[in-house]
Amino acid sequence: MRDELLLGQVLTFSDDPFSAGWQAAAHHSARGGVLIRAGRIAATGAADDLRRTHPHAPVSDYGEALILPGFVDAHMHYPQTGMIASWGKRLIDWLNTYTFPEEMRFGDPGYARAQADLTLDLALAHGTTTLASFCTVHPESVTAVFEAAEARGMAVVAGKTCMDRNAPDALRDTAQTAYDDSKALLETWHGRGRATYAITPRFSPTSTPDQLAALGALWAEHPDCLMQTHLSEQTDEVAWVRALFPQARDYLDTYEAHALLGARGLYGHAIHLEAREIDRLAEVGAAAVHCPTSNTFIGSGLFDTAGLKARGIPVGLATDTGGGSSFSMLRTMAAAYEIGQLRGTALHPAHLLWLATEGAARALHMGGQIGTLAPGAHADICVLDLASTPAIAQRSARAEDIWEALFPTLMMGDDRAVRAVRVAGVPLQGAVSTAPGSA
């Protein structure tokens, strides 16, 4: 595979902007380039320098468009694609009314694969090149999404969702079958190509202590896997957990007591945390995943991005479709900004982009591999048109720096802003190629 050179505006990070400050961490080149070699990033730098040192590389010149890493969605439910934007329920009612009936359909391998294909194509159309998805209780649902990702060359995290109580009979397994099915799936898929397996108890209310313990034992046997679940999404959910686990110190303790707290743990939502829970997440290095459109859509609450980052807790950003109301990480960044404002912290555009790319990648323990334009990373790339609609264009035209030019797209952009996407260097849409050496 020969080298290829992408030209345009380029934005990179040398550090976490929350800890280092965005002024020191973020770097913009108004006329930069990214060199792709064998599906990975070989170099970034000034466009003229890269053209001079690689004169025979074919060029895709995106002009004033902005070259970024592909977005990373750190928590979503591909089986809920079909019922996204369902009206008006609190979490538990919403699960019973919309989610569980749809998830019952995923024992059909054909249906599961069709929904996996649809979800991944929607994600890619919005510039998302990696996602971490809950599946259903059916092993077929896991196979479907990993096969669909493999066909597209995507890095995807997924796992069988385990539930043995407080769910319809058709969606329940047992402690033993949760262990057995999850083990068989992770032995088949974890580390195959770009696949990563995540052990996946849905949340404590739908797993007995025996099932949580079985999954904790499986994680101890395969510590290189991820573990994903939900934590403290709504106040009535927290009260339910307290009633189901009266001996637990708090919600997080229901996982910790069953060996489901660790550095490779992903805890979705994490809104209504107690002080001990924050301390423990920080101590073990576990990640909290912010799902802002879901949190506003279902009325869950306001995630404390700045506060958790100040404690050193890794934070990823996520759509949480279908509780979230958009497949777009641009819309997700806008919602994260709005929630930050309501909490009294205005997140800079650099913070938002970091959360949607390298921050989420680090939460998934894929730092240096995805979510970055650093040499050696997979060439998963999203190119943004910063003037994709008349409303965005007129505001961006007044900008005095890259942040003013970019921010309207983060706040008002959608899939129309996504000019091109590449997965492992392979273009999926919209590349404008020119002959080697041409402008």
What CATH number is given to the structural domain containing 190?
Answer: 3.20.20.140
Q: What is the pLDDT of residue 186?
A: 98
Within 10 angstroms of residue 15's Cβ, the number of other Cβ atoms is: 14
235 and 98 within one domain: yes
Average pLDDT (249-272) is 98
Q: What is the pLDDT of residue 430?
A: 45
Burial class of residue 295, CB neighbours in 10 A (0-12, 13-18, 19+): buried
59 and 86 within one domain: no
Domain-located, residue 146 = yes
Amino acid letter at 321?
A: T
Domain-located, residue 439 = no
Whether the pTM exceeds 0.85: the reply is yes
Q: Which of 310, 344, 363 is the last residue of a domain?
A: 363
Number of domains into which the chain is organized: 2
Domain-located, residue 368 = no
Residues whose CB falls within 8 Å of the CB of residue 290, separated by 6 or more in sequence, listed in order? 270, 303, 305, 315, 316, 317, 318, 336, 355
Confidence of residue 87 (pLDDT cuts 50, 70, 90): confident
379 and 325 within one domain: no
Instruction: State pLDDT tens for residues 394-410.
Output: 999 999 999 999 999 99
What are 288's two structure tokens?
């909290």
324 and 189 within one domain: yes
Residue 211 predicted with pLDDT over 80: yes
Classified as helix, coil or strand, 77 is strand
Strand pairing class (433-434; 59-69): antiparallel
What do you get for the CA distance between the two ends of the chain, in Å?
23
Q: What is the pLDDT of residue 1?
A: 61
Residue 163 predicted with pLDDT over 90: yes
Q: Which of 363, 385, 420 is the last residue of a domain?
A: 363
Residue 130, strand partner residues = 72, 155
Residue 432 predicted with pLDDT over 50: no
Domain-located, residue 252 = yes
What are 381's two structure tokens?
């790339």
Q: Which of 336, 363, 390 is the last residue of a domain?
A: 363
411 and 274 within one domain: no
Q: What is the pLDDT of residue 104?
A: 92
98 and 148 within one domain: yes
Q: 406: domain range?
A: 4-70+373-434
Confidence of residue 103 (pLDDT cuts 50, 70, 90): very high
As a whole number of angstroms, the distance between CA 117 and CA 147 comes to 9
Least confident of 74-88, 151-165, 252-266: 74-88
Residues in the chain: 439
Average pLDDT (133-137) is 98
Average pLDDT, the chain: 95
